[in-house]
């Protein structure tokens, strides 16, 4: 009982947010696998499509042409980052909303993409923004959560220096 109370008083009480990120990420990826054709855009807005893509690399397809070692490296990196984040959450008080939310977004996103790497050997991407002939890298919910969480962490460090 004491361990449970300690968990609820730490940042671990926010793990539900990471679980929501993972569930939304999984649901959307399963949906696009079943409803979209690979690399055929489904136009939603003049600047936004849903386009099923498989990314064997990292952000912006960095390392996508490597021989396969990158999947193990990136998947392992995601798991190491996840362990670091869990330890960090354990040390934070639950009332430190901003950092707990940021860390859980990063955690959920890292685990969502690691899940893809383990299950498929690549990450499923589908959110595609463009302007005329210019196209931003295709990404997913997990990538979005990681970016928002990382921005929140850097903003916190910039504003408070800790």
Total count of residues recorded for the chain: 162
Is residue 4 included in any domain, yes or no?
no
Domain membership flag for residue 41: no
Q: Is residue 22 within 8 Å of residue 115, measured between CB atoms?
A: yes
Return the active site residues. Answer: 125, 143
Share of the chain above pLDDT 70, in %: 86
Residue 80 inside a domain? The answer is yes
Residue 38 lies in a domain: no
Locate all alpha helices (DSSP H) within the chain, ordered by sequence.
2-8, 15-35, 69-91, 97-120, 141-160
What's the pLDDT score for residue 131? 96
Q: Is residue 60, in this structure, part of any structural domain at all?
A: yes
Tell me which residue range forms the domain holding 63. Answer: 9-33+48-160
Give the residue, 2 or 62, on which the prediction is more confident: 2
pLDDT (average), residues 36-48? 97
Which one has a higher pLDDT value, 117 or 43?
Answer: 43
Instruction: Please count the structural domains in the chain.
Output: 1
CB-side exposure of 10: number of CA atoms within 13 Å? 16
Residue 118, domain member (yes or no): yes
State yes or no: pLDDT of 104 exceeds 60.
yes
pLDDT tens figures, 119-138: 998 999 999 999 999 999 99
What pLDDT sits at residue 4? 60
Angle between helices 97-120 and 69-91 (to 10 degrees): 150
Residue 144: which of 62, 32, 29, 47 has the closest Cα? 29
The one-character DSSP state at 122 is S
Helix axes 15-35 and 141-160, enclosed angle (nearest 10): 150
Which pTM was predicted? 0.90
What is the C-alpha separation between 89 and 10, in angstroms, rounded?
7
Does any domain span residue 39?
A: no
pLDDT at 77: 84
């Amino acid at each position: 009982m004491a361990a449970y109370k300690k968990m609820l008083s730490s940042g671990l009480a926010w793990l539900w947010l990471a679980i929501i990120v993972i569930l939304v990420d999984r649901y959307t990826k399963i949906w696009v696998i079943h409803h979209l054709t690979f690399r055929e855009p489904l136009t939603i807005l003049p600047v936004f499509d849903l386009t099923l893509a498989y990314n064997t690399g990292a952000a912006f397809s960095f390392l996508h042409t490597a021989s396969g070692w990158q999947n193990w490296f990136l998947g392992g990196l995601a798991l190491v980052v996840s362990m670091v984040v869990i330890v960090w959450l354990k040390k934070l008080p639950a009332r430190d909303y901003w950092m707990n939310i940021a860390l859980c977004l990063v955690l959920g996103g890292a685990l969502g993409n690691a899940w893809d790497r383990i299950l498929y050997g690549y990450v499923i991407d589908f959110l595609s923004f463009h302007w005329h002939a210019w196209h931003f890298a295709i990404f997913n919910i997990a990538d979005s959560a990681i970016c928002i969480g990382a921005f929140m962490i850097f903003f916190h460090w910039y504003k408070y220096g800790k």
